[in-house]
Structure 1
């Protein structure tokens, strides 16, 4: 397993235990985790290639190195209600892991979908999800809010679309197939908040270096400005098939990331569609 030999020498403060290592997002982060001035990542998964394997709640906890941070990257993004409710069940499993490795802070990965539609939505906005995934993550957030104050600092990270790990990813991987996008009355397509996978890795590493009592309860994770999906598609050489936007379609869904910029100034290195795509391509090359 890739990190087992390194675990022995690293201090607890310089280690992060990260679940979901073999998922689509986990693989991207593994390829792009910053090497310098960053906590050493210890990757955990239920199966496959990871530093530590743990099948889940019904299995005994594995031997864990001491880590000051747990990043609960795991979760279900699609499926029926029975599948999506697993996002709530994973909260207790994350707490168990955090206590077992001596963590001081836990980063729970939530989603911008809990807000529902809107522009420049900040962390004070009242959640109003309009799909099953957003509703399941909101229930997860409520379970986190109800946890006892037992020495762990719980931080909810509401994540924007990650380039290479969202609904646009299949088209970016196979641009020859083209992609269908909604066209709105102004002639443009949808705009969404995104973050490059390498920037997300840099954000997680940066947050893990901050003192637990300086961290907010909730934090939006996104690049400073929303991105036109058509620009991402064109940067990938992907032909666009336009259709008239239906009445329920949203021209822009975006997050306010000012709180993140104040905590970690300069963390975003890839903010244009071309830069974001290049970052994702660099991950793809390392994964392959």
Structure 2
């Protein structure tokens, strides 16, 4: 595996979102000074080294950067405009060109895949079933068109990220209550997903910002190498599981194939253990 290049300046858009707060806490605790993380926020958040900037403002106020991480995006909710994911992705490309970055890491999603019983690999044709998945796939297509218009760069890397411990619905439910409601499927089991803990996600992102750009894949699944059941996570967090019959069309299994990630940044199977996912979430939630 290639070494991290020294002195990488990593501009982080959406640094104060759910995922941003978690990975920032990990990076702040790290003694590794090879990568300097520069959080970009819309208003003064009191973050060390923060840059206050919003889309539409002058790009000349942004500092020089080696890489850009686009953590910002729009998630499902009442009245949201999911097509803004494509707009923000193009904004990130403008930021990269203005700051001299040679790559942009864009947060796509496992939701771009169709449900399948086998692990979902990057070679599979995307076929999303949700509006959110379609919006993220549209974003990928918009980025591909942008890359064609700007073949000189920066390089686009679309990260199809699994469930981030601490930044998705199950962990949200566990923050609100000691009871967690889960779907029960005809095989008497609950949902199973590919998760990644904040510590591992922060490590992967830093490495992807720092490796030689020619080594970067265009699309990369991001998750622990094995899946984790939601029931096991809830019980590891000492929550009571309340079962309900799964509705028609509910998806029991979303498992990402991480062979390609393993060639870039190998993760141990232990990183998918429910106790690790819970303890890592609690550690960085409190730190952040």
Please, what TM-score do these two structures have when normalized by structure 1?
Answer: 0.90
| Structure 2 SS opposite 1:216 | coil
Q: Contact (CA 8 Å) 2:65, 2:99: kept in 1 or not? A: yes
Tell me which residue corresponds to 1:258: 259
After TM superposition, the structure 1 = structure 2 runs for residues 1-288 of structure 1, keeping only pairs within 5 Å, are 13-33=7-27, 34-36=30-32, 38-49=34-45, 50=47, 51-57=50-56, 59-61=57-59, 63-79=61-77, 83-118=81-116, 119-147=118-146, 148-176=150-178, 178-266=179-267, 270-287=271-288
Structure 2 distance, partners of 1:66, 1:268, is 37
- Deviation (angstroms), 1:186: 2.2
CA contact (8 A) 2:67 2:104 kept: yes
Corresponding residue pairs, total: 275
Residues 189 and 265 (structure 1), Cα distance of their counterparts in 2 relative to 1, 3 Å cut: same
Q: 1:65 Cα shift?
A: 2.5
Bigger shift: residues 30-39 or 131-140: 30-39
1:3 alignment partner in structure 2: none
CA distance in 1, matches of 2:268, 2:100: 27
1:197 Cα offset (Å): 1.1
How far residue 37 of structure 1 moved from its aligned partner, in angstroms, is 5.7
- Rounded to whole Å, the distance in 1 between the matches of 2:270 and 2:187 is 30
Q: Is the 8 A contact 1:54 1:62 kept in 2?
A: no
Tell me the CA shift for residue 81 of structure 1. Answer: 7.6
Per-residue CA shift, 1:202-253, capped at 9, x if unaligned?
0000111211111111000010011100011111111111112223122211
Q: Secondary structure at the match of 1:126?
A: coil
Q: CA deviation at 1:40?
A: 1.3
Q: CA deviation at 1:63?
A: 2.4
The offset of 1:271, in angstroms, is 2.1
**What's the offset of the Cα at 1:80?**
5.9
Higher mean alpha-carbon deviation, 63-72 vs 155-164, is at 63-72
Contact 1:199–1:267 (CA under 8 A) maintained in structure 2: no
Q: How far off is 1:171 after superposition?
A: 2.0
What RMSD in Å do the two structures reach over aligned CA positions? 1.9
Relative distance call for 1:188 and 1:205 in structure 2 (3 A) is same
SS in 1 for 2:282: helix
8 A contact 2:10–2:69 mirrored in 1: yes
- Structure 1: gaps of 5 or more residues: 1-10
- CA–CA separation in structure 1 for the residues paired with 2:269 and 2:96: 28
